[in-house]
Each structure stands twice: as C-alpha cells, then as structure tokens.
C-alpha cells in the first residue's frame, strides 16, 4: 500500500507537469491578503490543535461506544470517522467556494488514499499485523469503500449534467451506497 501511494502521488505530480493544468483562483473577489509567514503559522497552529485533540477524541469515543452500547466498530466507522473528516469537509467546502473544484475533489480522494497509507503504517507500530487483530465486520466497511469509490470514479467519467429534484443522480447513488453500508455495519456489529 505504501508503494502504491508513492507511485500514485508521483503520477499525479507528473500529470500536472506534463499537461500544464493550472486552475486560477479569481483574486479580484478576495480582498484579504496574507503573508506566507502568516499562512504557514496558521497552518502549523491548526495542525498542532489536531495533534492535541486526536488522542482525546479516541479516548472519548471509546467511552461513548461503551456507554451507548453501539460498539467500537460501528462507533468508529460512523462517529469517529465523521469527526476526523470535519477538517477535510471544511477544506473541501472552502475550495468549492474559491471555485477550486479540482482541489476539493483532490482533497477527498487524497484523504482517502492517505488514510489507506496510515493503515499500512500502523503495521510498523504493532507487534502483529493490524488487520489480523480487527473484527471481520471491517471487511464490510472496506468492501463498501471500494464499491463507493468505484461508483464515484464512474460518476466522474459519466458527468451528469442535470439534477433531479435537488441532487444529481450519481450523488444520490453514492449517498444510498454510504447509508446502506452503514446499515450493514450496524447490523453486523
């Protein structure tokens, strides 16, 4: 997984270099200008906050999973994943508001790929293979992620051009797959 991640990152970099795809953000509407130092300090401060909060989140989630009776697997799959994805969601929304749609989509897929890299790296911190220590119900989550990612890739290629009611058909399909996957994990917890 680590090798695949490195190769994919390199391919993305080369693709950007070869095709010279540049997305420009309209700076005319952005009245706020920040220095590079201010931006880097803000970024590092946000990273430090996340590093400080993450261990507390894990302990609190473990206690809530026990108290509610939902189980660690379901609680981790739904609530911890939601909480840890909030910074990415905010970044994605901000990118869309800046009309940097490719950055927003790259954030989502990149985060998914990086999370898989983290899974591979956990083997270095564990005396036994990590995946051999978890409940088999995680296979449902993993299969659901693969299926939903595959459908999302097909949706990117299909490119729906109109909405039905308030949502595009491909987005509705992804939502149904995610909700169905969560139901399966809940029923098998």
pLDDT in tens, 97-143: 988 888 888 888 888 888 888 888 888 888 888 888 888 888 888 88
Collapse the DSSP code of 164 into the 3-class scheme (helix H, G, I; strand E, B; otherwise coil) and give the result. strand
Is the pLDDT confidence value at 2 over 60? yes
> What is the model's pLDDT at position 17?
64
Please give the average per-residue pLDDT across 184-188, as a whole number: 87
pTM above threshold 0.75: no
Cα end-to-end span (Å), the chain: 27
Distances, alpha carbon 8 to alpha carbons 32, 102, 161, in Å = 34, 16, 29
Tens digit of each residue's pLDDT (9 = 90 or more) over 18-31: 655 444 444 444 44
């Amino acid at each position: 997984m680590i090798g695949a991640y490195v190769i994919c990152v390199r391919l993305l970099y080369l693709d950007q270099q070869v095709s010279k795809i540049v997305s420009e953000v309209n700076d005319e509407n952005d009245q706020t200008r920040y220095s590079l130092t201010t931006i880097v300090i803000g970024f590092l401060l946000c990273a430090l906050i996340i590093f400080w909060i993450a261990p507390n989140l894990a302990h609190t989630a473990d206690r809530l999973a026990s108290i509610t009776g939902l189980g660690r697997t379901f609680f981790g799959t739904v609530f911890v994943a939601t909480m840890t994805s909030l910074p990415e969601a905010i970044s994605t929304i901000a990118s869309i508001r800046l009309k940097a749609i490719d950055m927003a989509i790259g954030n989502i897929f990149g985060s998914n790929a990086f999370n898989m890299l983290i899974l591979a790296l956990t083997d270095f911190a564990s005396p036994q293979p990590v995946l051999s220590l978890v409940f088999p119900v995680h296979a449902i989550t993993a299969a659901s992620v693969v299926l939903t990612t595959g459908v999302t890739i097909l949706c990117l290629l299909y490119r729906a051009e109109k909405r039905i009611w308030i949502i595009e058909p491909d987005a509705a399909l992804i939502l149904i797959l995610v909700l169905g996957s969560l139901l399966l994990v809940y029923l098998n917890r």
